[in-house]
Structure 1
Amino acid sequence: MNDPRNRRTKTTRLDPKRPIGLFSSLKIELSVVIVMATSIAFILVWFLLKYGWSGWIAMPLTMVVALGITYFFSRGLIAPLRQLRDAAEAMSEGDYSVRVKLGTKSNDEIGQLARTFNEMAEELQHADQMRRDVVANVSHELRTPVSALQAMVENMADGVVEPTPANLEGILNQTHRLSDLIAFLLDLSRMEAGAASLNVEKFDLLDFLDETVEPLEIADAGHAHDIVMHVDENIWLEGDQDRLRQLFTNIIANALKHSPDGTKVLIEARENTNNGTIITNVVNFGSQIPVEERSDIFRRFVKGRSTPGTESGGTGIGLSIARWAAQLHGGTVRVVDDPRGADFEVVLPKYHVAEDDSRDVSRTRL
């Protein structure tokens, strides 16, 4: 049996023949139904009595007609709810591909509910697909170093290879790789939890960026990227250096990954004294990110399209972690227009303010 989550997106259509639905309020629609049914019943009674019908016959007949009118119009109200119920039941069974297609007469609360349902279904389908993708990716990434470690240790245990410094260094490299993967999973779990404790301290931004860039330059040695920094001196920042290092490492590494070999990556930082923020721009020369994709790339497990001559792959979580780390400090990360290339702008408050601290972040400190 096929997994229902792998099926195409299915659409449940709201009845386009709904007799009502033009109004923006369900209360108005119900009022219209009641007024119409009452008016028709009154006219029918008047007509029957005028032509000599007995009241004992006219009244029951009128009630039947009024009930028929009410039932006819109520079908237009209840049918979409049934379809929404069926779609919700399908989702509860794991089929996130179901959608409710809106008719032209869906401006009331039911139409709004259907639109909200579709948005929810879209997010759930995306999250479910990305969850399965990341499980497959992480499983593959874990299998490689574990297999290498197992082979190395077994060969040493069997006496096939000697425990030379080079072989031991190879084992150490694989353990570092495993450690990085575990750190990635921990970051993912922290981000899913939506909170993390911060060890706030005051530090020099230029020294911090130098320390952050150095290991990236070593890892990038084979691609000949030139990392240029234009950072104002004596810029001090308050924050958690570990979390902020995650932020800038992911942003800079993303720029390096999407830059052709031999090109330049620019890091600019300045202080905005008007609002007490530090603005940092990481520019990847040559490539651009379409406006319609700029918000999506910060979603979890979304991988940007690689340009010719650049690296591909990755977990699709780096930019999400960067945005999460910025938000923990009350800052933002976004892609801004820049004719030079893809420009990631990081805005952080100069002074850290706790959630229960109402002090002005732009105040001057001694």
Structure 2
Amino acid sequence: MIKLKKVKFKSLTMRIWVTFTAIILIIILSISIIYLVVFRSTNEKYNLQLLKASHDTFKENNFNQLKGFDDVRNLHGSSHFIVNINSSNIINIQDFNKRGGPPGQPNMGFPPNSGITQDALQKWMVGFIENNNISENEFKESYHGRKFLFIISSVNNIDGTNGKSYLISYMPAMEDNTLLYMVIGIGIMFIVFGFIAAKLVASHIAKPLKVLEDYTVRIAHKDWKEPIQIKNEDEIGRLANSMNLMRTELKRADEEEKMFLQSISHDLKTPVMVIMSHAEAIIDGIYIDSIEKTAGIIRDEAVNLEKKIKQLLYLNTLDYVLENNSQVSKINLRQLLLYIINRFEVVNSKIYWDLDMEDCFIMGNSDKIQVSVENILENSLRYAKEKISVILKEENSSVVLEMYNDGPNIEEKHINHIFDNHYKDKTGNFGLGLAISKKIIDFYNGEIEAVNRDRGVSFIIKAPIA
């Protein structure tokens, strides 16, 4: 079985031209159908009416056709003859051309190889006489593959016998295809000129597209130097503006990623350096205080290093885990907070925990919600001086969770960036925990923000009520 492959044009010129050509061909086809179905039928009826008028006039004027009908273009192939049928059914045909009819009487002029002769054609038409009295019977019949229109009427006997006489007017159903040929010719001209127009249009469109293509390659190679300059106000101009916006966002993400990698490399390098130095001290027998204390320092730094690596891996896989392995259920947020706070209270017994919590329910994965809250409370516990407040309530069809600590305020230039994936200020105070919390809360259609108070900072989470 032969499979037809879809034709693909790589050239914009060919695509425009093929589309234009298809439209022209559809127009030509539509006009051709209208011509064949409507115009020919209408034209045939019109010619038959003209032939009938000529037939009546010819009969009323004693078989002398008026000159006015000689000039009618549609009747140039028409003719008339009389058929006399006597009492013995002998047929006698009187052709007005043979009898020396009026000058200018049209000649049928059939080609020699058409198989049509004047006498044979007239005898064929006589065969359609069926009744004695006929009143302008109209016929549309084909003879030797050619269609004829003819009218038969009874007339007064003109040969002096007791027979019957009939007047027959006829003409070939000429098909004037001038309009169709003109439409096809104009269509071909449009197709030829359309190729030239398509090339000009394609060149005009392709010029800014080529600029966009080069600009895309520059962005792919992280060349952020200059934005693209296209002043069009059309779709191409809007595409250029979108690409400039993309450039700005990619440049910002690239800079944040570099800053993040520098920060991560410093965070990972410091505990590794401490572990190596204390391990070498044990090997060399030179250590501070005791070998147990030195081993304890190595252990604490290893735990810290492990925590940072786990956070980094968790952040990098979080999107996939949330999308593909997240079991959503109804969570009593108050019970979850009490469980987390009970574990955090033993970390620093000097911190006072002020709790004001109602039973509130949200939808989400319990493990992921726990991670997001733990990261915020751990951050609060790190900077709190004396007090941490947790308020949980329902407000305006949302669950509102506020976690406050009385530590130092966050600088305004940093407060809007502390949840960014790769953000860290110069002191290294913001790590991956807050970025992980925001990503989880955003996934469950919640919101999180940090707000400076007169003394301290509040982290406020809003989530839909289950």
> Is residue 91–residue 98 contact of structure 1 (8 Å, CA) maintained in 2?
no
2:436 aligned residue (300, 321, 324)? 321
* Per-residue deviation, residues 147-173 of structure 1 (Å, max 9, x unmatched): 211222222223334863322211111
> Aligned pair count?
270
Asked if 1:114 is matched to 2:237, the reply is: no
Partner of 2:373: 248
Residues 284 and 139 (structure 1), Cα distance of their counterparts in 2 relative to 1, 3 Å cut = same
Partner of 1:129: 255
Partner of 2:462: 347
* Per-residue deviation, residues 227-280 of structure 1 (Å, max 9, x unmatched): 6533325556675554233312333455567x7x758654311245x74x5320
Partner of 2:391: 268
CA distance in structure 2 between the partners assigned to 1:255 and 1:345 by the alignment? 12
5 Å-filtered alignment, 1:65-144, equals: 71=200, 77-103=205-231, 105-106=232-233, 108-144=234-270
Q: What residue identity is the alignment partner of 1:313?
A: G
CA distance in structure 2 between the partners assigned to 1:248 and 1:85 by the alignment? 46
Over the matched positions of the two proteins, sequence identity in percent amounts to: 21
Residues 82 and 284 (structure 1), Cα distance of their counterparts in 2 relative to 1, 3 Å cut = farther
CA distance in structure 2 between the partners assigned to 1:189 and 1:243 by the alignment? 15
1:207 aligned residue (338, 346, 356)? 338
CA distance in structure 2 between the partners assigned to 1:288 and 1:151 by the alignment? 35
Residues 141 and 125 (structure 1), Cα distance of their counterparts in 2 relative to 1, 3 Å cut = same
CA distance in structure 2 between the partners assigned to 1:154 and 1:291 by the alignment? 42
Q: What residue identity is the alignment partner of 1:268?
A: I
Q: What residue identity is the alignment partner of 1:320?
A: A
Asked if 1:190 is matched to 2:317, the reply is: yes
> Is residue 87–residue 98 contact of structure 1 (8 Å, CA) maintained in 2?
no
> Is residue 391–residue 402 contact of structure 2 (8 Å, CA) maintained in 1?
yes
> Is residue 300–residue 317 contact of structure 1 (8 Å, CA) maintained in 2?
yes
CA distance in structure 2 between the partners assigned to 1:150 and 1:336 by the alignment? 38
Normalised TM-score (structure 2): 0.47
CA distance in structure 2 between the partners assigned to 1:133 and 1:70 by the alignment? 49
Asked if 1:160 is matched to 2:291, the reply is: no
Larger Rg: 2
> Is residue 156–residue 163 contact of structure 1 (8 Å, CA) maintained in 2?
no
CA distance in structure 1 between the partners assigned to 2:348 and 2:249 by the alignment? 37
CA distance in structure 1 between the partners assigned to 2:410 and 2:284 by the alignment? 53
CA distance in structure 1 between the partners assigned to 2:430 and 2:418 by the alignment? 12
- Larger relative contact order (C-alpha < 8 A, sep ≥ 6)? 1
How far does residue 302 in structure 1 lie from its aligned partner after superposition? 2.9
> Is residue 232–residue 269 contact of structure 1 (8 Å, CA) maintained in 2?
yes
Residues 151 and 116 (structure 1), Cα distance of their counterparts in 2 relative to 1, 3 Å cut = same
Residues 110 and 336 (structure 1), Cα distance of their counterparts in 2 relative to 1, 3 Å cut = same
CA distance in structure 2 between the partners assigned to 1:168 and 1:255 by the alignment? 30
Structure 2 SS opposite 1:322? helix
Asked if 1:301 is matched to 2:426, the reply is: no
Unaligned runs of 5+ in 2: 1-15, 21-191
How far does residue 202 in structure 1 lie from its aligned partner after superposition? 5.5
Residues 111 and 201 (structure 1), Cα distance of their counterparts in 2 relative to 1, 3 Å cut = same
Normalised TM-score (structure 1): 0.58
Alpha-carbon RMSD: 4.4
CA distance in structure 2 between the partners assigned to 1:349 and 1:198 by the alignment? 18
Partner of 2:446: 332
CA distance in structure 1 between the partners assigned to 2:402 and 2:449 by the alignment? 9
Partner of 1:46: none
CA distance in structure 1 between the partners assigned to 2:401 and 2:243 by the alignment? 38
2:401 aligned residue (280, 283, 286)? 280
Structure 2 SS opposite 1:301? coil
Q: What residue identity is the alignment partner of 2:206?
A: I
Partner of 2:140: none
